[in-house]
Structure 1
């Protein structure tokens, strides 16, 4: 049960953003820039960064939401599961493996992002912008994970909910729009 009154039809961060819309807009704008804006990392790769960060923080809502979003963008279900549970053998590039390790370090203790780790990522082909955005996405999702769990936001358990949310995120991104979540709680 949430610690504050939230719209029960808007689980996870969606209800929190709806609760305080003046803070929601800059949150949504930054998320849109980082996860859907111009980048040499694909949208799916950036969702993987959000996924491993949320998984490391044990945030069930954000892990499920961004795993589903990564799956929708990548067009398969194996990669997101592997980056969470078997990152060494995940079907991503060596560069992406290094960036995901940077994200894990940011999530666990950002002070452990060492010059050696950054050098490994650069040797694997990571650019300064990719390093910057990886750290910022991981840091931002640490905030989101704590926001969702700190206010005990509703966390659906049915996978179909997250599939519907993933399609909204894939097709519409993170910016607000009228009736954005109208189909979120439909049963299919």
Structure 2
């Protein structure tokens, strides 16, 4: 049960959905940010950007965000949940491009503290072909997901167990995006 009365059925509105329904005026810009960062035109695919969100959420131990964004990433990556699980289990041996691995390392540094993003991490990403836009947005996705994770966990919202409950949300996000969430 959430720490405050969100005025919704938590079973039907788990995770971030309940707080967003509680405060639609803050939900709007949060969903707009997610839409731009995760689905807007970009050199990284939506699946790769969702993978960054899932990776950071896993590092933050946010069960709801990790499960939901893992499902969203898997729905948009050729190797699906297998790749998501590999990245989350061992980034160094996961079968991702060297550029994405370097960007995920930057995201992991942001998750600890922004000051852990070093010139060396950025140079390594650039050496693998990362652009300034990709580096910028990786940092912003990681920072935003630290906020989203703390929002969800700070209110003690429900995180459904298992992966099945997140598949319908993944289909909805892939088809309609974050602006359809309310």
> Within 5 Å, which residues of 2 pair with 1:59-138?
59-75=62-78, 76-138=80-142
Residue in structure 1 matched with residue 2 of structure 2 by the alignment: 2
Unpaired stretches in structure 2, ≥5 consecutive residues? none
Moved over 6 A (4+): none
8 Å Cα contact 1:32/1:175 also seen in 2: yes
Query: Helix, strand or coil: the match of 2:178?
Result: coil
Q: Compute the displacement of 1:106 (Å).
A: 0.1
**Equivalent residue in structure 2 for 1:165, among 165, 169, 181:** 169
- Partner residue, 2:57: 54
1:173 is displaced (CA, Å) by: 0.9
Retained in 2: the 8 A contact 1:25–1:176?
no
Structure 1 stretches lacking a partner, 5+ long: 181-188
Matched, 1:12 2:12: no
Q: Deviations over 1:78-129 (max 9, x none)?
A: 1111111111121210000000000000001210100011000000000000
d(CA) in 2 for partners of 1:96 and 1:20? Answer: 35
Distance between the aligned counterparts of 2:112 and 2:163, measured in 1? 27
State the alpha-carbon separation in 2 of the partners of residues 83 and 158 from structure 1: 19
Instruction: Quote the offset at 1:140 in angstroms.
Output: 0.2
User: Structure 2 CA distance, aligned partners of 1:87 and 1:158?
Assistant: 23
Give me the whole-angstrom Cα distance separating, in 2, the residues matched to 1:46 and 1:77: 14
C-alpha displacement of 1:5: 1.4
| 1: CA distance, partners of 2:42 / 2:111 | 22
| Corresponding pairs, count | 178
Task: State the Cα distance separating 1:176 from its structure 2 match.
Answer: 2.9
TM-score of the superposition, structure 1-length normalised? 0.92
TM-score by length of structure 2 reads: 0.95
Provide the C-alpha distance between the structure 2 equivalents of 1:158 and 1:105, rounded to a whole number of angstroms.
28
Q: Deviations over 1:10-35 (max 9, x none)?
A: 10001111110001101111110000
Is 1:150 the equivalent of 2:139? no
